[in-house]
Chains A and B, each alone.
Chain A
Amino acid sequence: AAAMPVNADLRRERAAATFQPELLTHILDGGPERTRRRKEIEALVLNDPDFQHEDLNFLSRSQRYEQAIRKSSLMVMKLREYGIADPEEIYWFKSFVHRGRPEPLDLHLGMFLPTLLTQATPEQQDRFFMPAWNLEIIGTYAQTEMGHGTHLRGLETTATYDPSTQEFILNSPTVTSIKWWPGGLGKTSNHAIVLAQLYTQGQCKGLHAFIVPIRQLGTHEPLPGITVGDIGPKFGYDEMDNGYLKMDNFRIPRENMLMKYAQVEPDGTYVKPLSDKLTYGTMVFIRSLIVGDSARSLSRACTIAIRYSAVRHQSELKPGEPEPQILDYQTQQYKLFPLLAAAYAFHFVGAYIKDTYRRISGDINEGDLSELPELHALTAGLKAFTSWTANAGIEECRMACGGHGYSRCSGIPDIYVTFTPSCTYEGENTVMMLQTARFLVKSYTQVSSGQQVTGMVSYLNDLPRQRIQPQHVAARAVTVRINDPTSLVEAYKSRAARLVESAAKNLQAELNHRKSKEDAWNRTSVDLVRASEAHCHYVIVKLFTAKLSEVSDAAVRAVLTDLCLLYALFGISRNAGDFLQAGILTSAQITQVNQHVKELLAVIRPNAVALVDSFDFHDVHLGSVLGRYDGNVYENMFEWAKKSPLNKTQVHESFHKHLKPMQAKL
Chain B
Amino acid sequence: SVNPDLASERQTASFSVEKLTVLLDGGVEQTQRRRAVVEAIESDPVFSRENQYFQTQNERYEAAVRKAVHLQKKMHEMGWTENGPEYKYIYRALSGDVAFLLHRVFMRSISVLGSDKQIAKWIPLATQHKLIGSYAQTELGHGTYLQGLETTAVFDTATQEFILNTPKISAMKWWPGDMGRSATHTVVFAQLYVHGKCYGIHPFIVQIRSLQDHSLCPGITAGDIGPKMNFEHIDNGYLLLKNVRVPRENMLSKFCEVRPDGTYVRQGSQKINYFTMTTVRISLISDEVLTPLMKACTIAIRYSAVRRQSKLKPGEQEAKILDYQTQQEKLLPQLAAAYAFHFINDYLQELLNRGYREVHRKNFDMLPELHALSSGFKAVVTQRCTAAVEICLRACGGHGYSLLSGLPSLYTKILASCIYEGENTILLLQTARFLIKCFMAASAGQPVPPSVTYLAAVKPGKCPARNKLDFLSPDIYTEAYQHVAVRLISSTAAKLQDLIQSGVKKHDAWNQCTVQLVQAAKAHCHYITVKNFAETVEKLETKAGIQKIMKHLCDLFALHGIFSNTGAFLHDGYTSAAQMDMVTASYLDLLAVIRKDAVPLVDAFDFTDKNLNSALGSYDGQVYQRLYEWAQRSPTNQMSPAYERYLKPLLHNTLSKL
Contact = CB atoms under 8 A, between A and B. Distances in A.
Which of A61, A134, A424, A526 is most buried by chain B, counting CB atoms within 10 A of its CB? Answer: A526
A341 to B, nearest CB: 16
B420 A65 contact: no
B515 A662 contact: no
Given A230-B637, A663-B130, A424 B309 contact: no
B401 interface: yes
Contacts of A234: 401-403, 408
B224 A641 contact: yes
A403 B420 contact: yes
Given A403-B143, A646-B180, A408 B65 contact: no
B624 A175 contact: yes
Contact of B313 (A180, A236, A244, A519): A519
A659 B624 contact: no
Given A70-B646, A330-B511, 5 more contacts: A154-B318, A523-B325, A643-B226, A650-B215, A651-B214
Interface residues of A, number: 135
B175 interface: yes
Interface stretch (B50-58, B188-196, B261-269, B548-556): B50-58
A395 B403 CA distance: 19
B650 A135 contact: yes
Given A76-B655, A175-B625, A654-B62, A425 B512 contact: no
Per DSSP, are chain A's interface residues mostly helix, strand or loop, or mixed?
helix
Contact of A65 (B313, B628, B640): B640
Contacts of B229: 406, 408, 413
Nearest to B424: A399
Contact of B394 (A151, A407, A423, A663): A423
Contacts of A319: 507
A576 interface: yes
B573 interface: yes
A653 B180 CA distance: 13
Contact of A646 (B235, B630, B651): B235
B225 A420 contact: no
Contacts of A220: 643, 647-648, 651
A524 B315 CA distance: 21
Nearest to A332: B425
A453 to B, nearest CB: 26
Nearest to B311: A518
A524 B326 CA distance: 9
B48 to A, nearest CB: 16
B567 A575 contact: yes
B56 A645 contact: yes
Given A136-B656, A144-B398, A395-B390, A329 B514 contact: yes
Interface string A451-480: 000000000000000000000100000000
B646 A69 contact: yes
Contacts of A577: 565-570, 580
A646 B224 contact: yes
Interface in B515-550: 515-516, 518
Interface stretch (B115-123, B134-142, B243-251): B134-142
9 closest pairs, A vs B, by CB?
A577-B566, A576-B567, A646-B224, A232-B634, A644-B226, A577-B567, A235-B408, A230-B636, A232-B631
B365 interface: no
B66 interface: yes
A321 B649 CA distance: 63
13 contacts: A57-B227, A62-B636, A77-B655, A229-B637, A314-B145, A399-B415, A403-B143, A406-B415, A425-B398, A472-B577, A518-B314, A522-B323, A577-B565
A273 B291 CA distance: 54
A124 interface: no
A587 interface: yes
A136 B651 contact: yes
A294 to B, nearest CB: 15
A421 interface: yes
Given A65-B636, A314-B142, A529-B326, A230 B631 contact: yes
B240 to A, nearest CB: 8
Contacts of B323: 522
B390 A233 contact: no
B405 to A, nearest CB: 9
B575 to A, nearest CB: 9
B83 interface: no
A655 B214 contact: yes
